[in-house]
Amino acid sequence: MTSINGSIHIERPVEEVFDFVADERNEPTYNPRLSGVEKTTPGPIGRGTRWHAVATSRKRATPFELEITEYAPPSRLASVTHMDAIEISGALTFVPEAQGTRMSWSWNLRPKGMLKLATPLLAALGRRQEQRIWSSLKACLEKQKCE
């Protein structure tokens, strides 16, 4: 197992950032690697909400399931992601700051099978990918160009 941690300041109110991020259907607007997200459970978003998503990389589609395991608006959103090759669990935290929100992430990666051998490389790639995703979210929300 390895961990990925980081944070970013977003110049938007904490409630707005939390609500936007909590709805996984918004992620394709700031994460170009996500080609589709579908909510698979009925009712409002909260603990137990499940999503089916597809990530694409080098023309390869990777489906995965994500479940919200903790939902505490507007401060904490935890989840577990199940993929064939890896399981990812962790949380996002949202803290009000002057002129915005400090959003932090902490993910535990549990590679499966042969991917375990590539854990150090996986961690390095994951850190860069998370920084790109959340920097894109920041740009999306601050410019209010999330489409």
Give 3-state DSSP helix, strand, coil % of the chain, rounded to 5: 30, 45, 25
Task: Give 136: exposed, middle or buried? Use CB within 10 Å, 0-12, 13-18, 19+.
Answer: middle
Greatest Cα pair distance, the chain, in angstroms, is 45
Q: Where does residue 117 rank: exposed (0-12), middle (13-18), buried (19+ CB within 10 A)?
A: exposed
pLDDT at residue 30 above 90?
yes
- Mean pLDDT value across residues 28-36: 91
The pair of three-digit structure tokens given for residue 123, joined into one six-digit string: 């961690």
Stretch 23-28: mean pLDDT, rounded? 96
Burial 63-74 (b: 16+ CB within 10 A, else e): ebebbbeebeeb
Higher-pLDDT residue of 42 and 32 is 42
The overall average pLDDT reported for the chain is: 92
pTM over 0.85: yes
State CA 85 to chain mean position distance: 17
Whether pLDDT at 120 is above 80: no
| Per-residue pLDDT, 91 | 98
pLDDT band at 111 (very low <50, low <70, confident <90, very high): confident
CATH 3.30.365.10 fits 2-30+70-142, yes or no: no
In this predicted structure, the answer to whether residue 122 has a pLDDT above a threshold of 80 is no
Least confident interval from 48-52, 77-81, 109-113: 109-113
Q: What is the pLDDT of residue 147?
A: 59
Q: Would the pLDDT of 60 be above 90?
A: no
Q: Can you tell me the distance from the alpha carbon of 122 to that of 127, in angstroms, rounded to the nearest whole number? A: 9
Per-residue pLDDT of 62-104, as tens digits, reads 899 999 999 999 999 999 999 988 899 999 999 999 999 999 9
CA neighbor of 33 nearest in space, from 125, 106, 142: 125
